[in-house]
Each structure stands twice: as C-alpha cells, then as structure tokens.
Amino acid sequence: MNYEADIAIIGAGPAGSTAAYLLSKVGLKVILIDKCFFPRDKLCGGLVSAKALRLLEKIFDETEESLNQKQIINFSSNKFEFVCKKKSLAKCYTKVPTHFVERTVYDKFLLDKALDSGTKIIYGEEVKKVDLDSNILITSQGNKINSKYIIGADGANSILRKEFEGIGSIDKESWLKNLGFAFETYIAKDKLSFETDTMYLYFGYMKTGYAWVFPNKDKLVVGIGGLLKELNNKDFKTIFNSFLISLGLDKKTVDDYIKDIRGHPIPFGNFIENPVYKNTILIGDAAGLVNPVTGEGIYYAQRSAEIAVDVILKNYNNPGNLVEDYTKNLNLHLMPELLKTRKRRNMYFRIFNNYYLGKIVTFFMFRKVKYV
C-alpha cells in the first residue's frame, strides 16, 4: 500500500509521539511507523525529571496533579540514597519529589495524544529502507510512505541514523566510542529487606556507569548501565549478578531474575554533531541526545522533538535552511549542558566510585538537603 504524508516519523516513543502531536495539531498530515503494537514495555528506569514535567505542561498542558489523577505517574518519592558498593554516601529527603512512570503507560499516553490530534499510525512494521533523497520509506510489509520530511525517533538502533552513516554524514566510530549498554529487571518489593520507597544509585561496580533501584507502586526497577567499550556483555551480566546478590537476594532468586533480564544499547555521550540531512532529522536517542552521566533520556527526547518541530514549521516551504537551523537550535538549547556533562563524566565517576571522596563530595552537594 502507498501512503502520502507531510511528515513521516519512525518510532512512536516519547520523541516520536511528541513530534507527531505538535505537527498534527497545526494541521499537517503525519504518519507514525512503529515496529511494536501498543501498549508495549521499554527498558527504562522511568524517571521523569522536574524539567521533563515542566515540558509536559508546556506542550500537553498536563500538570503534576493531572498526571497523578490519570495515573500516568506511577510513584513519587522524596527520598534518595547514594551508595558506593554497600556503604552509604548520602541518604537524603528532598522537598521536591522525584517521579517515576511505567513506560508501558507513559508511551501509550503520549501516543494517544498524537492520535487524538490527527496522527495516523502503522503498527507492527519495521522500516527496512529509507531513500534520503526522495523521502520515501519502505516497511517490512512492503508499504511505501512518501513524505516531505522524515523524522527518525527510533532509538539507539535507529535505521535512519544508519542511513546517515552510509552516506558519511555520521562517524560510526565516534558513535560506538560513547555507546552505552544497560541491563534491567523487575523485582517484587517483598524480595528486599531495605526501604522500597527510596531511589538508590549505586557506584563502584563499573568504571563509567552505575546501578540503580527505582521504586514503583508494586515493584522495583533494578538495573545497571555504563559504557559498552569498557566491558563485554558477559562481563556486564556478571557484574549485574553480583549487584543483585549484594542487595540481599539469594543465588537461586538471582538466577531466576537473570533469565528475564532485558538488555539494550543506550546513547551515553555519543551526541551526533549534525543529526540532520536534507529533509530528514534525528531526534532523541536516535541522535544520541541522552545525559552522558545519568542516562536520562525522556526529557531530551521530548525537548529535541519540540525543537525539530519548530524548525520544520519555520522552514516548511524552504527546507534548504533545515540543516543550519536545527543544528543551531540544538547547540543553543541542549548541547551546552550535554557537552559540559560529558566533559566532567570521568571526574564524577572517579569521585563516586571512591567511598571517601564520594562521602566528602556528597556532603557538600547535599548540605542544603535534609539528611535522614
């Protein structure tokens, strides 16, 4: 089947659905293509930062209160703890809570916003071929989508990014240099003996990365992630196994959880310098726009979607300025923070991987925060 659209968007995660919503809202014909059927789960800690909440209110007019009422926010916690191996660095209580979502619910919520605004979607089909010159997509079922613009919001394994690599627009070696990997699983709250309403960050398990235990309403999200070049998958699993045992789980329970472990590459400081070519734009994880220390991606996915939409609308009838405008706006609004964080990354992990250094630094970091 042939489809015609003003904008074709690959990937219906937070980045793709946000872009689709904003573009459909102004009357453009938008088609989303996603290899999954929704709702679907996604490897992600599910942390929604304060700036992500502000962005949700700005774009969707959804406040913290409305997100709680609609049960989009799964859990909120005012407590967090930094740990080096088994030793606590800081255990604090904050006035402003940290919020967590289940990606199954959150992504479906955003997709429904896009669909309600007029977006059409093709479910369960992968994009197999992209013609960057004619803006034509071919799916795994042989469907052909012809559009004026293409947005790649299809994550760390983006097919559109690989097309950019094919024409030499992106340095593949540079991408792999800062590619991360994460393992994650769900653990029932009653399996652990410590407080399960607290956000925990664990250091000392790997050189450039950390482990986490994030609270949810009825379970815990437990994972580990860091730079892939420093380890191979086998080493990662071994470290994750050790981490789970350190939480107080017995070996049999850990073996059961390891069977259901989920792993996925994540951008970890490999931002693409020019994630735009002719009438095609990369956003979110596909463009490497993820915090290179924390791994936070939701905010950057939705903010880069907003930026891309603004640039497309501004240059809709004059796409010759797209490359310059998108790059300029990323450099203005997102890249300074991300580049500064990447520059300091090694320093951060050297500090928190050392108990005594970490203890001193967290004391000064959180001196205005209530200790518990």
| Structure-block tokens of residue 229 | 């070049």
Looking at residue 368, its pLDDT comes to 62
pLDDT band at 233 (very low <50, low <70, confident <90, very high): low
Backbone angles phi, psi at 120, to 5 degrees: -105, 150
Ramachandran area for residue 124 (φ above 0: left; ψ -120 to 50: alpha; else beta): left
pLDDT at 371 over 60: no
Total domain count, the chain: 2
Are both 208 and 185 inside the same structural domain?
yes
Output the pLDDT for position 167: 82
Average pLDDT over residues 108-136: 97
- The answer to the question of residue 83 being in a domain is no
| Residues 249 and 364 placed together within one structural domain of the fold | yes
Of 56 and 175, the structure prediction assigns the larger pLDDT to: 56
Rounded to an integer, what distance in angstroms lies between the CA atom of residue 78 and that of residue 92?
8
Range of the domain at 203: 179-267+345-371
Helix (H) or strand (E) holding 48: strand 47-48
φ, ψ for residue 97, nearest 5 deg = -75, 155
> 189 and 312: one domain?
no
The CATH number linked to 115 is: 3.50.50.60
**Does 255 or 24 have the greater pLDDT score?**
24
User: Cα Rg for the chain, rounded, in angstroms?
Assistant: 21
Asked whether residue 90 is domain-assigned, the answer is: no
Residue 279: inside a domain: yes
**Does 62 fall in a domain?**
yes
Does residue 129 share a domain with residue 23? yes
Q: Do 58 and 37 touch, CB atoms closer than 8 A?
A: no
- Do 210 and 246 lie in one domain? The reply is yes
Within a domain: 36:
yes
Statement to judge: residues 255 and 280 lie in one domain: no
Q: How far apart are the two ends of the chain, measured CA to CA in Å?
A: 61
Does the pLDDT at position 223 exceed 70?
Answer: yes
Residue 331 DSSP class: H
Q: What is the mean pLDDT of the chain?
A: 94
Look at strands 47-48 and 87-101 and give their pairing: antiparallel
Q: What average pLDDT does this structure show over 229-235?
A: 76
What pLDDT score does 43 carry? Answer: 85
The pLDDT of 269-280, averaged and rounded, is: 93
Q: Is residue 297 in a domain?
A: yes
Confidence band of 193 (pLDDT split at 50, 70, 90) = confident
Whether the per-residue pLDDT at 168 is higher than 80: the answer is no
Rounded CA gap, 338 and 293, in Å? 9
The separation between CA 35 and the C-alpha centre of its own chain, rounded to angstroms, equals 18
Q: Would you say residue 91 lies in a domain?
A: no
